[in-house]
Amino acid sequence: MTPEDIPNAVAVDEAMLTLDELALACAVEPRWIELRVEAGLLECAPGATTPLRFASAQLVRARRMAALERDFEANEELAALVADLIEEVQRLRVQLKALGGD
């Protein structure tokens, strides 16, 4: 599987990725993913143990974190915090739109 075969930026709830697919899509080593899972910064799919499986939403999060770490030399905790904040802003925008806001 090549990076082009994996959804780019839109999370598709049904799509599940293996550890290797996620690492390839993020242009990182599988160990990079494993370390962030162990630290609680990325989540495996519920019930996934071995082999690790990831929901497509984690693809977006992992790519974002990898870019923050690479581009801004952020440590993994800071990258995860920024990803959390971006995700929260997106959730709040959806709620605001549902309430009739712009």
pTM listed for this prediction: 0.81
The answer to whether 29 and 14 are in contact (CB under 8 A) is no
Tell me the per-residue pLDDT of 5-32, one tens digit each, with 9 for 90 and over. Answer: 444 444 455 689 999 999 999 999 999 9
What is the distance of C-alpha 27 from the center of its chain?
A: 13
State which fold the 3-98 domain adopts: Multidrug-efflux Transporter Regulator; Chain: A; Domain 2 (1.10.1660)
Report domain extents, the chain: 3-98
